[in-house]
Amino acid sequence: MEGFKIDSSKKGIDTPDVEELKVQEQPDNQENPISNIHGLSLEELNDVNKIRISISDTSAPVIVLFGPASCGKTMTLVRLSRYLQGQGYQLIPDRTFRPSYDENYKNLCDNFSSIVNSDDAASRTDNISFMLVKVVKDGRTICQILEGPGELYFDPSKARQDWPTYVHYLLNNTNLRKVFLPFVEPNFGEEETRRNYVSTINQLKQNTDKQKYVFLYNKIDLTPFVISPGKVHINHALHQVEMDYPDIFARFKNTNPITSLWRANNFEFVPFQTGTYTKPAAGSLVYIQGSDRYPQHLWETLLRCIRG
């Protein structure tokens, strides 16, 4: 894609080269909707198209947690990381993902393990804006999980998003294998907001085998479809999502007359709960992780997408 620097010596790919910037005070600008994103330089804050990310390993598939602010992307990363640690995987933050002026990112990388394993996780993840974490087993990188700020993916007032350059870069980068995880959740916004979100997800769709889709129905604990912890009436849940977000799956049906005989959809659907959140009278939010069955189901689905 024009405008992107491809550094073959590093075998990685960067968003456009921007001069290294000194860390600067974030502007105290209530008007700027991204002023609460931690770690951005002044230049990035003033122009989201200047946001720099760099994916140095283009051979391992990238799992993109995609969804509006507060849908649960960061806590899904936390929950999945905890599960994978227990299964003998190593979770290694990629230190080169953000430029060196992003001190916030550096701190997150230094403290990733303690943040993920803290009961205080929900409060401590507040400053996770960007994150790229490698999932490694026996020295091999199975995939990399990418988290970004929801407000850069979805503006609820718009049916068509003006994504920052780095999102287009992710979408258009044909060297990368990607699994997009569009998040859906119960009781999300007004009808118009949900329709706008459907249009936004359609903007993600590409007809290539290199890009797969797993719809993640998070906060399933807030629905009546949980039979017992980790066990969900999937068809009822799927139907509810279709009701709440009209036509959300339309573009993701398999229209091939032959393969559709045994595979109706070109997407996967996973119900999920990151955990429960309680607020003690004093102190910060306490996080108790949900059943292992949720991240287990998600991980099995991701492995199928990665291998398939």
Ligand X SMILES: Nc1nc2c(ncn2[C@@H]2O[C@H](COP(=O)(O)OP(=O)(O)OP(=O)(O)O)[C@@H](O)[C@H]2O)c(=O)[nH]1
Distance (Å, rounded) from C-alpha 296 to C-alpha 275? Answer: 14
Match 């969900």 to its residue by tokens.
232
Least separation in angstroms between residue 78's CB and Mg ion is: 10
Task: Report the nearest approach of Mg ion to the CB of residue 152 (Å).
Answer: 11
Interaction site with Mg ion (CB under 5 A): 73-74
How many residues bind ligand X (CB under 6 A)? The answer is 19
Sign of CA dihedral 221, 225, 231, 236: negative
- Give the DSSP H/E element, type plus range, for residue 55: strand 54-55
Using CB under 6 A as the criterion, what x/- string covers residues 167-206 for binding ligand X?
----------------------------------------
Q: What span, in angstroms and rounded, lies between the C-alpha atoms of 49 and 35?
A: 15
Q: Which of 221, 248, 252, 295 binds ligand X (CB under 6 A)?
A: 221
Using the minimum distance from each CB to Mg ion, give the nearer residue, 72 or 99. Answer: 72
* 48-87 binders of ligand X (CB under 6 A): 67, 69-75
Which of ligand X, Mg ion, none does residue 273 bind to, with CB < 5 to 8 Å depending on kind?
A: ligand X
- From residue 139 to residue 158, the character string flagging contacts with ligand X as x (rule: CB under 6 A) and all else as - is ----------xx--------
Burial of 177 (0-12, 13-18, 19+ CB in 10 A): buried
Distance CA 14, CA 239 (A): 40
* Calpha distance 185→221 (Å, rounded): 10
Task: Report CA-CA distances (Å) from 201 to 191, 204, 211, 237, 292.
Answer: 15, 5, 13, 19, 28
- 222 or 264: CB nearest ligand X: 222
Q: How far is Cα 122 from Cα 116, in angstroms, rounded to an integer? A: 9
Query: Quick check: 289 binds ligand X (CB under 6 A)?
Result: no
C-beta of residue 180 within 8 angstroms of C-beta of residue 213 = yes
Q: Among residues 245 and 266, whose Cβ is nearest to ligand X?
A: 245
Of 15-44, binders to ligand X (CB under 6 A) are none
41 binds, among ligand X, Mg ion, none (CB under 5 to 8 A by kind): none
Cα angle 272-175-40, degrees, rounded to a multiple of 5:
65
Shortest separation between residue 110's beta carbon and ligand X, angstroms: 20
Instruction: By CB under 6 A, name the one of 81, 165, 223, 274 that touches ligand X.
Output: 274
Considering the rule CB under 6 A, would residue 301 count as an interface residue with ligand X? Answer: no
Interface residues toward ligand X, by CB under 6 A = 67, 69-75, 122, 125, 149-150, 218-219, 221-222, 273-274, 277
